[in-house]
Structure 1
Amino acid sequence: MLFWRLVLLGMLFLSLSFGQLRENDAQQRFSRSVVNMDDMLNLEDDLVSNVEKLAEALSRKAKTIKWGVFKMMKRRQEYKSSRELFANPIDTFSLIRHMQSDWLMWLKYLEMPVGQEELAVLDSRMPLLPKYFDFIDAAEGIRKMQATYQMYSADIANGLLDGVQYNSSLKPIDCLAIGLHLMNNSRWYAAEQWIGASIEAYDQKSSQTEMELLRGPKMADLCRVLGQVQMKQRNHEGALQAYQVALKLSPHDPEIYEEYRILEKRDLTLSDIEPMEQDEDNSHERLVLPPCCSGRCAVPRNLNSLYCVYNHVTSPFLQLAPIKTEILSVDPFVVLLHDMISQKESTLIRNSSKEHMLPSATTDPDASDTETQVDTYRTSKSVWYSSDFNDTTKKITERLGDATGLDMNFTEFYQVINYGLGGFFETHLDMLLSEKNRFNGTRDRIATTLFYLNEVRQGGGTYFPRLNLTVFPQPGSALFWYNLDTKGNDHMDSLHTGCPVIVGSKWVMSKWINDMGQEFTRPCIDSSSSSKEVLSAERLII
């Protein structure tokens, strides 16, 4: 069937300059950030304008052809109405010349290609369009968002996202595309939900897209796919019913009829003890997706000794301008620093980064090959800036040093990050070294600071599963925590997740602080040590 062929066809660098470091990946990866969505819309405007020119050229040719047909029919009527047909030699000569010459010209005119320039422009724009891996990123973003916040496929298709209704919806072809993607990965249960959502969207008779008008899907196609998914789950009765509906809608389709006959015979011969195909993806998602990104987790947290203070102890300057500090956890030490970055500074950082964002990469320092790679468990785009990249980064660095009491001369570059469709960072630890490579003189990340550069309408929180703590982006604030304990060992309770964004654009800026160089500001101490031995922000609780 043409529909299936079209569906399958449709689906099936490290540079350092002026203190700026870009990720080592030249691919756009459109869905991993929203910063390039305007560019994509502008590209579509260009493509639509070009197709409009093609349509005008075709229309002009069609108008010329219709005019020619009208003139020839008029001449034919004149010949027929003549009482002395072809008695006049002038009429005879004119007809012979017309039939011998004009039709040759018509043939050449009809064979003449139209819109070659427009087609060439369209072909030149094809490399700029999203690729199949962009669709995979987008589909997985929707699926992870759905699984994390436990949303129904039909609700997402209708624009109901985690309890908030939006004036947006998915078309049947959108839901079908997600369902087919899940089927390709043998995720049958989730695929069935999305195929069902596509049928529900079709029943609502919403306006069809231009591709749906050209290629479908028709309701018979959707029912056929639903039958295939249900058969994979050994729901034989449901599969037969789905195929029966498909046959009723498209009784002369030989492929649907043949598949239905095979299904009937198989249903009669199947053993009751035949094992069902397992949906391995469901258990995997339960393991890697956080359960409390919504912040509505029912498990109580220990709130003892948690409070808000004005920090004036980690820097002499703070005696004049103390920093509002919200203590969220004592062990590990986690605080939310308020008013750490102004709206003007946030806007400047975001605007200066948009043109340089590339897919965020990860690396394994313990491996012999430290080349970075783009992976599926981190869906964002980012760019790196040195602490002295400009006046703004210099001021923020000085401010962070005052707020934490740590030495900012021993830190990594700033990483400005933007999360796209369902953008997330799976549960992970920020420290780089394994236990076997610790204490050998190699630096590691003693602490992390995460600056929130904008407000996120829904989702996008930072979740600490072992602390049952979810922190949602607050523009201008900075989330700070220690990755290593006071003896330099991994603090496993610093495990955290960048929760999927539901609606909005999430801009953050990370700053990792190294342990080497902090020997005097945060020395290795025992829990009973005096606060005089600590110059860092932990003085607020000791």
Structure 2
Amino acid sequence: MGVWSVCCILLISCQLKFSCAHNDFFTSIGHMTDLLFTEKDLVTSLKDYIRAEERKLEQVKQWAEKLDAITTTATQDPEGFLGHPVNAFKLMKRLNTEWGEVEDLVLKDMSDGFISNLTIQRQYFPNDEDQTGAAKALLRLQDTYKLDTQTISSGDLPGLTTGLPFKSTLTVGDCFELGKIAYSEADYYHTELWMEQALKQLNEEEESSIDIVTVLDYLSYSVYQQGELERALDYTMRLLTVDPEHQRALGNLKYFDYQLAKQKKAEKEQSTKEESNKKQQEESERKEYLPEKRKYEQLCRGEGLRMLRRATISNPITGVLETAHYRISKSAWLAAYEHPVVDRINQRIEDITGLDVKTAEELQVANYGVGGQYEPHFDFGRKDEPDAFKELGTGNRIATWLFYMSDVPAGGATVFPEVGAAVKPIKGTAVFWYNLFPSGEGDYSTRHAACPVLVGNKWVSNKWIHERGQEFRRPCGLKETD
């Protein structure tokens, strides 16, 4: 059995131990696979229920056909029919006994097995947080890889032709739900994009529970919140052509008209040059605000290259391990005594790097979820977080070894924004770097990130090697600046 297979099996076994508690399904593809089998079991149970209901309906149908024939004949000559004492007896029997049996049959619940199964399984189902997390992941992928809503909705994602054979599309309802989730986060930019996509598909789909009035209502408000008054006014007027009595739209129409007139008056009083300078200044400020994020996303897309992991993170203030929104994955720790393969991996890392792994942290195996990523960060503890690894007692993280345990058809690269480097995950390969200079000072050029997984399933394992034990393997230089 290969190294990668054993690590995957060990991680899955660790996940199963905690399957009884809700655990952010969207943060790990490996964890979500359990849900597919749960759903398959529920479908089987539902089909059993359908077959039982069909058998029940067949019995009811036979009874109805028999009674239809009797009543049709009887009502043609009621007195003549009841003149036969057997018919009179059977009428009494039917109405007193047999119709009660039919009633019991109709009311009989054939869903006992299905309902009980569903009730048991529901406690393990994803919750609102999972659905929102998966939606945010799609929006994150959209931004990072510059995907338009049509590309995502049609399922034509980069990497599918060379990777997974599966393709899934979004319905009007799906697009509307993405827009609603963005709206609930006051993300009006993505609200607009997905409501526009829902509007576009409304004209293409034959049936949808989403009505155009609701979509236009969201659209008008989201573009208004982005300062586009004319477009907000256009959407509002379009809404009113469909529903002339829509109270909120009628109120917004007057308000948007007033604000638009006010805006145009202000624009006349301001020179074109001043406005141009203001826009340039705002653009400049935006560029200064998120330079690293833009560079990180560029590297994730493979732009600007100069060369070729819900896990926990250490709180820089408290030193406590906790979850973080910027790391979307799940992980498990594997000790050398748990399996001979883990011991061999540790030895191999020591042989290749020349560093002592006895004081290293245990091997961490991570599986990234929907849009799984880890935003730019350092592995080592900085001067402003002196207690980052105090509980370990082995000093700072001197080096990082990262294994790639699976191929990823699209996305998922490890990028180093400071040096413009990106490493594509290829199964069986690894990347190694020193986090500290020989002097013990942190190397800030090692700031790195895991790009969102666009298509596929990303498994990695890493070893964080610490300072203690390296005194004679990687000694300090003669100068402090070394």
TM-score, normalised by the number of residues in structure 2: 0.79
User: Would the alpha carbon gap of residues 83 and 466 (structure 1) be closer, same or farther in structure 2, given more than 3 Å must change?
Assistant: closer
Pairing of 1:231-246 with structure 2 (within 5 A) = 231-242=224-235
Decide which of 454, 457, 474 is 1:502's aligned counterpart: 454
CA contact (8 A) 1:464 1:470 kept: yes
Q: In the alignment, residue 225 of structure 2 is paired with which amino acid?
A: K
Aligned: 1:261 with 2:250? yes
Aligned: 1:85 with 2:80? yes
Q: What residue number does 1:354 align with?
A: none
How far does residue 461 in structure 1 lie from its aligned partner after superposition?
A: 0.8
Take 1:188 and 1:228, find their aligned partners in 2: how far apart are those partners?
A: 8
Q: What residue number does 2:128 align with?
A: 132
Q: What residue number does 1:463 align with?
A: 415
Q: What residue number does 1:278 align with?
A: none
Offset from partner CA, 1:386-411 (integer Å, 9 cap, x none): 24543222222222222212122221
Q: What residue number does 1:334 align with?
A: none
Q: In the alignment, residue 193 of structure 1 is paired with which amino acid?
A: L
User: Would the alpha carbon gap of residues 414 and 442 (structure 1) be closer, same or farther in structure 2, given more than 3 Å must change?
Assistant: closer
**% same residue:** 27
Aligned: 1:392 with 2:341? yes
Q: In the alignment, residue 142 of structure 2 is paired with which amino acid?
A: Q
How far does residue 463 in structure 1 lie from its aligned partner after superposition?
A: 0.6
Q: In the alignment, residue 360 of structure 1 is paired with which amino acid?
A: A
Decide which moves more: 390-399 or 107-116: 107-116
How far does residue 470 in structure 1 lie from its aligned partner after superposition?
A: 0.8
Take 1:86 and 1:397, find their aligned partners in 2: how far apart are those partners?
A: 94
CA contact (8 A) 2:403 2:429 kept: yes
Take 2:80 and 2:410, find their aligned partners in 1: how far apart are those partners?
A: 82
Q: What residue number does 2:273 align with?
A: none
Pairing of 1:136-175 with structure 2 (within 5 A) = 136-162=132-158, 167-175=167-175
Q: In the alignment, residue 298 of structure 2 is paired with which amino acid?
A: C
Structure with the bigger percentage of helix: 2
Q: What residue number does 1:412 align with?
A: 361
SS of structure 2 residue aligned to 1:157: helix
CA contact (8 A) 1:292 1:463 kept: no
Q: What residue number does 2:476 align with?
A: 524
How far does residue 225 in structure 1 lie from its aligned partner after superposition?
A: 3.0
How far does residue 478 in structure 1 lie from its aligned partner after superposition?
A: 1.5
Take 1:169 and 1:282, find their aligned partners in 2: how far apart are those partners?
A: 35
How far does residue 171 in structure 1 lie from its aligned partner after superposition?
A: 2.2
CA contact (8 A) 2:360 2:466 kept: yes
CA contact (8 A) 1:149 1:293 kept: no
User: Would the alpha carbon gap of residues 286 and 131 (structure 1) be closer, same or farther in structure 2, given more than 3 Å must change?
Assistant: farther
Q: Which blocks of at least 5 consecutive residues in structure 2 are unaligned?
A: 1-9, 267-285
User: Would the alpha carbon gap of residues 118 and 475 (structure 1) be closer, same or farther in structure 2, given more than 3 Å must change?
Assistant: closer
How far does residue 419 in structure 1 lie from its aligned partner after superposition?
A: 1.0
Q: In the alignment, residue 296 of structure 1 is paired with which amino acid?
A: G
TM-score, normalised by the number of residues in structure 1: 0.71
Q: What residue number does 1:11 align with?
A: none
SS of structure 2 residue aligned to 1:497: strand
User: Would the alpha carbon gap of residues 285 and 77 (structure 1) be closer, same or farther in structure 2, given more than 3 Å must change?
Assistant: farther
CA contact (8 A) 1:292 1:470 kept: no
CA contact (8 A) 2:159 2:410 kept: no
Q: In the alignment, residue 356 of structure 2 is paired with which amino acid?
A: D
User: Would the alpha carbon gap of residues 435 and 110 (structure 1) be closer, same or farther in structure 2, given more than 3 Å must change?
Assistant: closer
How far does residue 450 in structure 1 lie from its aligned partner after superposition?
A: 0.5
How far does residue 204 in structure 1 lie from its aligned partner after superposition?
A: 3.7
Q: What residue number does 1:429 align with?
A: 378
User: Would the alpha carbon gap of residues 21 and 430 (structure 1) be closer, same or farther in structure 2, given more than 3 Å must change?
Assistant: farther
Aligned length: 439
CA contact (8 A) 2:310 2:327 kept: no
Pairing of 1:67-216 with structure 2 (within 5 A) = 67-82=62-77, 85-86=80-81, 88-90=83-85, 91-162=87-158, 167-205=167-205, 216=209
User: Would the alpha carbon gap of residues 102 and 30 (structure 1) be closer, same or farther in structure 2, given more than 3 Å must change?
Assistant: same
Take 1:70 and 1:159, find their aligned partners in 2: how far apart are those partners?
A: 50
User: Would the alpha carbon gap of residues 285 and 272 (structure 1) be closer, same or farther in structure 2, given more than 3 Å must change?
Assistant: farther
Decide which of 362, 379, 382 is 2:331's aligned counterpart: 382
SS of structure 2 residue aligned to 1:430: coil
Pairing of 1:342-353 with structure 2 (within 5 A) = none
Offset from partner CA, 1:151-178 (integer Å, 9 cap, x none): 2222211223358778432222222222
User: Would the alpha carbon gap of residues 50 and 528 (structure 1) be closer, same or farther in structure 2, given more than 3 Å must change?
Assistant: closer
CA contact (8 A) 1:359 1:374 kept: yes
Decide which of 54, 58, 63 is 1:59's aligned counterpart: 54
CA contact (8 A) 2:292 2:417 kept: no
Query: What is the RMSD computed on CA atoms of the aligned residues?
Result: 3.7
Aligned: 1:484 with 2:436? yes
Take 1:73 and 1:245, find their aligned partners in 2: how far apart are those partners?
A: 54
Q: In the alignment, residue 229 of structure 1 is paired with which amino acid?
A: S
Q: Which blocks of at least 5 consecutive residues in structure 1 are unaligned?
A: 1-16, 276-280, 304-327, 329-357, 531-542
Q: In the alignment, residue 54 of structure 2 is paired with which amino acid?
A: S
SS of structure 1 residue aligned to 2:298: coil
User: Would the alpha carbon gap of residues 36 and 283 (structure 1) be closer, same or farther in structure 2, given more than 3 Å must change?
Assistant: farther
Offset from partner CA, 1:351-383 (integer Å, 9 cap, x none): xxxxxxx9311222651xx54222211111111
User: Would the alpha carbon gap of residues 74 and 391 (structure 1) be closer, same or farther in structure 2, given more than 3 Å must change?
Assistant: same
Q: What residue number does 1:343 align with?
A: none
Q: What residue number does 1:332 align with?
A: none
Offset from partner CA, 1:204-238 (integer Å, 9 cap, x none): 438x7xxx6xxx22444433433343343354554
Aligned: 1:34 with 2:34? no
Q: What residue number does 2:219 align with?
A: 226
SS of structure 1 residue aligned to 2:332: strand
Q: What residue number does 2:302 align with?
A: 296
How far does residue 35 in structure 1 lie from its aligned partner after superposition?
A: 1.6
How far does residue 459 in structure 1 lie from its aligned partner after superposition?
A: 0.9
CA contact (8 A) 1:151 1:162 kept: no
Decide which moves more: 183-192 or 219-228: 219-228
Q: In the alignment, residue 227 of structure 1 is paired with which amino acid?
A: S
SS of structure 2 residue aligned to 1:36: helix
How far does residue 100 in structure 1 lie from its aligned partner after superposition?
A: 4.5
